C-alpha cells in the first residue's frame, strides 16, 4: 500500500542521525561504514543500526567488498525520488550538514592520498608499462571512436583498475559499473571518480569469471589491458558475453603478440599478447560477432582493439 510505504519511509528518516546519513550519502556517493563512522563520530554498532533501517526502507543500497560494507542512496525508482524530496526540505545553510560535509571532504582527501601512496608503491610497474606501451591517449581516442554507446543504459568495465575506462565512458551512458578483484585498485578508482565529479558509477569488487549481473542485462562491456593477466581469458570473454543484451557491444583492448619476457617474469603477465584470430575465435564461441579490429603500433608493445556485438535472438519458426 502506498500510504503504508510512505509512512515507513518517513519513519525511517525521522531521526537526526539518519537524516544526516542520507544527506551525506547523497553528496558523497559510495561510502563505507568506517568512513561514515569517522564523519559522524558515532559508534559503528549505532550507525549500522541506522543504516539498516534506511536500507530496509529502500532509501539506501548496501553492497560488500571483502569484509567492508558500502552504502549509497537508492539510484532509481520511487525511492530515489523520495530521497530527493526529503533532502530538499533541509535548509541549505544547516550548520550540522555543513560540518558533516567538511568532514566528508577530509575523508575524500584521505582517499586521494591513499591512492597516490598506492601508485607510489607500484610506480616501477606503471613506469615500465608506460615506457613500452602505445600512447594511452591514442588508445583512448580509438576506443571512444569504436564503441557505439547510443541508448546504452548499463555499461560494465571488467578489471576496471583505476577506472580509466569508466571516466571516459560513464558520461555517455545512464549508469556505469566497474568491477575488479583488487580492493586497493577499487579505492583508487573511487578516488578518481570523486575527483572527476562522476556520480553515475558503481565500483564493485567482483571476479571477472563470475560477474554479479543477470544474463542479457548490459548494453556494453569494456575490458582494457586485463586479459593478459588471466589464466582463462576465453572464459572471461564468455562470461562477459553472457551478461550482454542481444545487440550489446563488447570492446577488448589488449597487447598484440610481443616478446617482452620481462613482463611475464616481473610484472605478472601470463600471456605475451594475443593474435586477432585467437580473440575472434573466443568471440565466436561466446555468441559474439566480430565487428571491427584496430591495430595501434607501438615499440615494442602494440595494442589491438577488438569490437564485437552479441547476436540478436532469432525466434525459432515452427
Ligand X SMILES: C[S@@+](CC[C@H](N)C(=O)[O-])C[C@H]1O[C@@H](n2cnc3c(N)ncnc32)[C@H](O)[C@@H]1O
Which residues form the interface with ligand X (CB under 6 A)?
A: 159-162, 164-165, 180-182, 185, 207-209, 224-226, 229-230
101-139 as b/e: b if 16+ CB within 10 A: eebbeebbeebbeebeebeeeeeeeeeebeebbbeeeeb
Which C-beta is closer to ligand X: that of 25 or that of 211? 211
Cβ at position 94, least distance to ligand X in Å = 39
Cβ at position 151, least distance to ligand X in Å = 24
Which C-beta is closer to ligand X: that of 37 or that of 209? 209
C-alpha to C-alpha distance for 198 and 124, rounded to whole angstroms: 29
Which C-beta is closer to ligand X: that of 193 or that of 226? 226
Distances (CA, A) of 302 to 87, 234, 290: 50, 21, 20
C-alpha to C-alpha distance for 265 and 243, rounded to whole angstroms: 33
Cβ at position 227, least distance to ligand X in Å = 9
Cβ at position 163, least distance to ligand X in Å = 8
Which C-beta is closer to ligand X: that of 68 or that of 209? 209
Minimal CA–CA distance to 168: which of 219, 250, 224? 224
C-alpha to C-alpha distance for 101 and 255, rounded to whole angstroms: 43
Cβ at position 207, least distance to ligand X in Å = 4
Which C-beta is closer to ligand X: that of 19 or that of 203? 203
Alpha helical stretches, state H, 226-315:
233-243, 261-266, 276-285
Position with the least CB separation from ligand X: 161
Amino acid at each position: 500500500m502506498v500510504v503504508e510505504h510512505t509512512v515507513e519511509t518517513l519513519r525511517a528518516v525521522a531521526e537526526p542521525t539518519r537524516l544526516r546519513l542520507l544527506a551525506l550519502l547523497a553528496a558523497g556517493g559510495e561510502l563505507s561504514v568506517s568512513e561514515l563512522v569517522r564523519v559522524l563520530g558515532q559508534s559503528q554498532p549505532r550507525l549500522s543500526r541506522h543504516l539498516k533501517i534506511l536500507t530496509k526502507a529502500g532509501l539506501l543500497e548496501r553492497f560488500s567488498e571483502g569484509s567492508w560494507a558500502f552504502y549509497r542512496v537508492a539510484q532509481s525508482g520511487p525511492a530515489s525520488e523520495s530521497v530527493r524530496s526529503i533532502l530538499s526540505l533541509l535548509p541549505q545553510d544547516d550548520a550540522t550538514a555543513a560540518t558533516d560535509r567538511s568532514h566528508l571532504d577530509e575523508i575524500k582527501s584521505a582517499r586521494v592520498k591513499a591512492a597516490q601512496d598506492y601508485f607510489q608503491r607500484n610506480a616501477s610497474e606503471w613506469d615500465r608499462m608506460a615506457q613500452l606501451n602505445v600512447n594511452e591517449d591514442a588508445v583512448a581516442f580509438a576506443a571512444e571512436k569504436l564503441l557505439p554507446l547510443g541508448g546504452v543504459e548499463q555499461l560494465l568495465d571488467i578489471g576496471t583498475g583505476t577506472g580509466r575506462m569508466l571516466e571516459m565512458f560513464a558520461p555517455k551512458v545512464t549508469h556505469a559499473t566497474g568491477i575488479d578483484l583488487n580492493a586497493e585498485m577499487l579505492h583508487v578508482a573511487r578516488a578518481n571518480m570523486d575527483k572527476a565529479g562522476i556520480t553515475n558509477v558503481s565500483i564493485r569488487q567482483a571476479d571477472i569469471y563470475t560477474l554479479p549481473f543477470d544474463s542479457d542485462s548490459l548494453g556494453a562491456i569494456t575490458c582494457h589491458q586485463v586479459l593478459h593477466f588471466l589464466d582463462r581469458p576465453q572464459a572471461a570473454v564468455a562470461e562477459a558475453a553472457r551478461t550482454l543484451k542481444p545487440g550489446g557491444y563488447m570492446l577488448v583492448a589488449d597487447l598484440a603478440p610481443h616478446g617482452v619476457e620481462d613482463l611475464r617474469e616481473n610484472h605478472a603477465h601470463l600471456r605475451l599478447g594475443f593474435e586477432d584470430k585467437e580473440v575472434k575465435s573466443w568471440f565466436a564461441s561466446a555468441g559474439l560477432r566480430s565487428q571491427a579490429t584496430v591495430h595501434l603500433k607501438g615499440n615494442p608493445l602494440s595494442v589491438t582493439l577488438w569490437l564485437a556485438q552479441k547476436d540478436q535472438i532469432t525466434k525459432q519458426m515452427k
